[in-house]
Structure 1
Amino acid sequence: MELDEAVSIGLELGADFIDIREQEILATSIEIVDGTVRTLSTGKKRGYGIRSFCKGAWGFSVTHGSSKGLLRKAIEDSVRLAKLSASLKKERFDLEGRSYEGKAKTPRIEVPSSVSVEEKLKTAIEFEKSARIDERIKNVTVRYNDVVFFERVANSFGTRVEQEISRVNSYVFVYASEAGVTERAFESIGGTVGFEILRGEKAATMGEKAARRAVELLKAKSAPSGSYKAILDQKLAGIFIHEAFGHATEADSVLAKMSVLEGRIGEQVGSELVNVVDDPTLPNLYGSYPFDDEGTPSKRKYLVKEGVLIGFMHSLETSSRMGQECTGNGRAMSYSSPPMVRMSNTFITKGDWKFEELVEDIDEGIYAKGGLYGYTEPSKGQFMFKAEEGWLIRKGELVERLREVAIAGMTLEVLHNIDAVADDLEMRIGHCGKGGQWVPTTAGSPHIRVKKMTFGGLR
């Protein structure tokens, strides 16, 4: 069944709006733990995700395979569910949007599906071996994933788009132990690219790089606790801007009253040095895409400009409910899940300071690097992150390596306290979880300096 015919059936059944996503997904997953292959899988799946909208309510249904009968049944189920939901819904709104047409393919040299699983496994094994540089290395885990997916989206606004996207990623996690102390470090690489990304020096050296850092941290001193002037590196500042701030700019969180930014568009939410962008159009980054999963073209958008909150990220639903422009941030994990508002490549733009200038003005402070885990509360604007490592700063010098470094505070307070932004923007890949769905993202930042930040440590 052609998608045009499927859309027509949904409208004939009484939907006010309907969209249909057809996807074919080719994927490989490998996990190696201490030299043992724990996961080695390849797969191919195809199916349809159908959304129907009736009087302010949605119905969603999925069918696997390409059977015309199953697709029709899924359309009928989707419309029936939307009507049932509408009968129970008090708040109603009209869905608004425009039509788009286009075809796109993300750039790559080696399509992952063209590389043998034997070569992929060999590469992952080499990454694991490269981390075995010291007898204090106790555990090494390597993960490799790739995906190629073909997607067509059609809706009753008239949108007809097609895209083919390739993504590759690999992680190396290393644990080192000595005299009762255990430390860990990790490195990652990936992008909306082909297998060629794993043939370069950065990929070849990431296991050794993570291992050396884990070993060096065994001799580091425990971090002090208290309030200090701080520098955050690109990785930790990127995690902060994604987790602590970015989720609060997703419009569905704003509508659910789960965002500290509700009602603050046009307000100063950070220092004038702070500019925050979400941009899925950047080539090769892990969170990039030509069209979102609602068929809206991707676009660069400022969330914060010179410290002022400019806007939120939107799907078709949230833009309709809030009377704002759809930003192309309606994303889904696969055809089996409905789109929701998600980030893409989210980052603080670069400033004009050099890293050395950030350090030299600090009499006493902490330089925090990397990120291991944490939690955020977007509705209250609170956060806590465990950094991978740090350095004590005294009189403009990095004087002592630190471990067990944690930062905590209020998101907007930190943004207001940023007094310097470096010119060394870097991006890191990630997988963002929300509503049971995981999507590829990138988070980034230059080094940033914060006037005052609360640190937790063991001394």
Structure 2
Amino acid sequence: MFLRWERSWLEEVLARALARGGDYADIYLEERQSTLVTLEDRRVERVHVGVDNGVGVRVLQGENTVYAYSNDCSYQGLLHLAEQVSRAVAHGKATDLAELRREAEGLACSEDIPLDAKVEVVQRADRAAREFSPLVKQVLVSYGDVRQEVVMATSTGDLVEDQRCRLRLTVNAIAAEGGVIQTGFEALGSTADFTQALDSTPPEQLAQVAARRAAALVQAPPAPAGEMPVVLAGEAGGTMVHEACGHGLEADLVQKGLSVYKDRMGEQVAAEAVTVIDDATLPGKYGSYRYDDEGVKARPVVLIERGVLKEYLYDRRTALKEGRSSNGHGRRESYQHKPIPRMANTYIAPGEWDPEAIIREVKEGLLVRKMGGGQVNTANGDFVFEVAEGYLIRDGEVGPMVRGATITGNGPEVLRQVAMVGRDLGFTVGTCGKDGQGVPVSDAQPTLLIPKLVVGGLAERRGGKS
């Protein structure tokens, strides 16, 4: 580890933090090395390489949380933070300190990649997107990676050291023709090594997907509007399950009464064919980790099993409130943020249907192969999403691409409506924002048939029902 620390420091800091009362205390030490390379208009516009380190100290007492952080990671700096949080805690009985025991030492980051190689990645993507079609007029490419080393110590005796690596590559291809301008976006996110990740998904492949989508959208007719069957392809990724379902299963929103799933434990909340899992242990996925940001070992969590609500996503604070243990979903953006319940890799488990057979079941509807941005109300589950890549389905066959479509509905109601679940599984990656902080996540789903959704569009819909 680059951070300098000693076990005796951590024990004394925890004791100092709880000196005036508290149920629990923890320390989060972090050093982060990051690289960012952006390219626009054929030029590398920005190269940023930086190092940041700091520490956060937290005390929980009843419903109250006191958190302080600093970039002073010295012994005296840690003691100063502990004194600050201790003074802020109401007087009460302090918890007994457990003897610190080392849980893990992660050694995931094995490569030392020169900056020139990272710059070359964005240049390769730019060339591939421009060469794909003359309709592509502009390309924006961004590469970023983070190498993070953390130490986490808790008053319950946990001592975890971990090393984490992530990289992300995004391509925006902008196409134009006859006054119509459209954008195609594609992203790669991984916790695998640089070479492994980019050998698996070369930048040229990513760029060509983005360019193909943008060029096709320019020439696509407007989408029809109306209520119709919608097939969400596995390759569309799990935006739907993340936004319309996942956030509502985070324990802090449930406990605040801001989730449609509050007081629904053990009830049927989805179709029997639907099982929803959040698994931070999936190898190489962008949202994966061995230990969460509170030192709790990651494990798969079955949230909905065959339609029945089984579990919420907990951090230590929300778990302590219910007298139970965290299930490893306390996450934070950095040492400057306190941990909160967050998703990692959230997905609907594959079913038994062949994806092509699902499409053949639809007489007239919409096939969504890529989701765009959207909004969701976690309190009632209502959502609206843009369709980044969609096609008409006619008589069980995939028809022309359409542009400008949106889908509107209610998350729990959609899950109850699911009629068919494919045996495929497609992932998307992103940075999930909540309470002013972002964390890397992956989302996935198999091909799904939703018999009835409201599709927004500008074209008139021809007659017919599925």
Same fold (TM over 0.5): yes
Q: Quick check: 1:237–1:448 contact (8 Å CA) kept in 2?
A: no
Match of 2:464 in 1: none
Q: Quick check: 1:107–1:284 contact (8 Å CA) kept in 2?
A: no
Residues 1:417 and 1:55: Cα distance change in structure 2 (over 3 Å): closer
Q: Quick check: 2:29–2:73 contact (8 Å CA) kept in 1?
A: no
Q: Helix, strand or coil: the match of 1:205?
A: helix
Superposed displacement of residue 189, structure 1: 1.1
Superposed displacement of residue 101, structure 1: 4.0
Match of 1:91 in 2: none
Q: Quick check: 2:122–2:203 contact (8 Å CA) kept in 1?
A: no
Q: Quick check: 1:95–1:320 contact (8 Å CA) kept in 2?
A: no
Matches within 5 A, 1:247-396: 247-396=247-396
Q: Quick check: 2:98–2:155 contact (8 Å CA) kept in 1?
A: no
Q: Quick check: 1:58–1:81 contact (8 Å CA) kept in 2?
A: no
* Runs (5+) with no aligned partner, structure 2: 460-466
Residues 1:69 and 1:107: Cα distance change in structure 2 (over 3 Å): closer
Number of matched pairs:
450
Match of 1:103 in 2: 104
Q: Quick check: 1:48–1:335 contact (8 Å CA) kept in 2?
A: yes
Residues 1:62 and 1:201: Cα distance change in structure 2 (over 3 Å): closer
**Partners of 2:404 and 2:100 in 1: how far apart?**
52
**Partners of 1:328 and 1:287 in 2: how far apart?**
13
When structure 1 is superposed on structure 2, of 16-25 and 434-443 the one drifting more is: 16-25
Matches within 5 A, 1:10-49: 10-49=17-56
TM-superposition CA deviations, 1:195-241 (whole Å, max 9, x none): 11124454331112211221112221111111111101225450000
The reply to whether residue 156 of structure 1 matches residue 155 of structure 2 is yes
Q: Helix, strand or coil: the match of 1:131?
A: helix
**Partners of 1:247 and 1:95 in 2: how far apart?**
34
Superposed displacement of residue 15, structure 1: 3.8
Residues 1:390 and 1:455: Cα distance change in structure 2 (over 3 Å): same
Q: Quick check: 1:372–1:388 contact (8 Å CA) kept in 2?
A: yes
Q: Quick check: 1:24–1:44 contact (8 Å CA) kept in 2?
A: yes
Residues 1:98 and 1:405: Cα distance change in structure 2 (over 3 Å): farther
Name the amino acid aligned to 1:50.
V
TM-superposition CA deviations, 1:429-450 (whole Å, max 9, x none): 1110001110010000111111
Residues 1:259 and 1:65: Cα distance change in structure 2 (over 3 Å): same
Superposed displacement of residue 55, structure 1: 4.2
Superposed displacement of residue 4, structure 1: 2.0
Matches within 5 A, 1:201-212: 201-212=201-212
Match of 2:463 in 1: none
Q: Helix, strand or coil: the match of 2:89?
A: helix
Counterpart pick for 1:9 among 16, 19, 35: 16
* Runs (5+) with no aligned partner, structure 1: 88-93
Q: Quick check: 1:198–1:204 contact (8 Å CA) kept in 2?
A: no
Name the amino acid aligned to 1:282.
L
The reply to whether residue 177 of structure 1 matches residue 184 of structure 2 is no
Residues 1:98 and 1:295: Cα distance change in structure 2 (over 3 Å): farther
Match of 1:420 in 2: 420
**Partners of 2:117 and 2:26 in 1: how far apart?**
39
**Partners of 1:212 and 1:296 in 2: how far apart?**
42
TM-superposition CA deviations, 1:273-313 (whole Å, max 9, x none): 10000000111111111111111111101110101111100
Output the aligned Cα RMSD.
2.2
Q: Helix, strand or coil: the match of 2:213?
A: helix
Match of 1:119 in 2: 117
Superposed displacement of residue 458, structure 1: 0.7
Residues 1:269 and 1:99: Cα distance change in structure 2 (over 3 Å): farther
- The TM-score normalised by the length of structure 2 is 0.92
Name the amino acid aligned to 1:392.
L
Name the amino acid aligned to 1:102.
E
**Partners of 2:121 and 2:284 in 1: how far apart?**
21
Match of 2:186 in 1: 187
The reply to whether residue 243 of structure 1 matches residue 250 of structure 2 is no
- The TM-score normalised by the length of structure 1 is 0.93
Name the amino acid aligned to 1:126.
R
Q: Quick check: 2:331–2:340 contact (8 Å CA) kept in 1?
A: yes
Q: Quick check: 1:389–1:403 contact (8 Å CA) kept in 2?
A: yes
Superposed displacement of residue 324, structure 1: 3.8
The reply to whether residue 166 of structure 1 matches residue 165 of structure 2 is yes
**Partners of 1:147 and 1:95 in 2: how far apart?**
36
**Partners of 2:215 and 2:443 in 1: how far apart?**
26
